Amino acid sequence: GAGVSQSPRYKVAKRGQDVALRCDPISGHVSLFWYQQALGQGPEFLTYFQNEAQLDKSGLPSDRFFAERPEGSVSTLKIQRTQQEDSAVYLCASSLVGNIYGYTFGSGTRLTVV
Amino acid sequence: AQKVTQAQTEISVVEKEDVTLDCVYETRDTTYYLFWYKQPPSGELVFLIRRNSFDEQNEISGRYSWNFQKSTSSFNFTITASQVVDSAVYFCALKAPTQAGTALIFGKGTTLSVSS
């Protein structure tokens, strides 16, 4: 596609519910990042994929967070047993490897845990 | 540790005023990139500029200009003759080191409100 597509755009989950957030990167983009943006804050790194390989997951806040990119294109961020502190916008970004001009970001998924 | 500080939380100006957004960064890497992104209400982050640590030339693009000063670890962004459409949250970000896979470190952002 022309840009990075994320779905759903908004998600309301009851505390304890599992959620899955989808990111469809630009076709051919090898690198894919997930970021978490709390209200009034800058985005914070969660995890990085190069193709299907998850090369860095140091930013995932707990073992309730899990990300995958099985075929090296679409990625899913899953949060198990959601808690109120998980409420945030989850941003996905993709780029060509070696693209020094930054990344193309999606519009994000706004997750609200009630 | 890598860190980006945007001390201005919110700035309000009237159209046609010039405005400067400050960014101070910390890194021990000698090679790094600095970025500015714009986040309009729709939520996506829009790339504005990337600067290489070895290139301290200032840059101008239309009404936008950037002042990179390594000596003070600052990368400030100026909008000349601001317009209502410039209203957004602006983020400064650092990528250090520069290898693929290095995540961007963002500041907390500056919310710019331009009124007519």
Reported as a single tens digit per residue, the pLDDT across B29-62 is 999 999 999 999 888 899 999 888 988 888 888 9
Closest partner CB to B33 (pick from A59, A98, A100): A100
Max Cα distance, chain A (Å): 40
Paired with B93 in beta bridges are B35, B106
d(CA A17, CA B59): 48
Torsion angle, CA of B19/A44/A99/A101, rounded to 10 degrees?
0
Would you state the pLDDT for residue A101? 62
What is the average pLDDT across B19-33?
Answer: 95
d(CA A65, CA A59): 10
Tokens of A48: 């990085």
Min Cα–Cα distance to chain A from B94, Å: 10
Beta-carbon separation of B103 and A48 below 8 A: yes
Min Cα–Cα distance to chain B from A101, Å: 6
Beta-carbon separation of B103 and A33 below 8 A: yes
- The Cα-based distances of A86 to A13, A72, B103 in angstroms read 10, 26, 20
Would you state the pLDDT for residue B10? 97
For residue B30, give the 3-state DSSP assignment.
coil
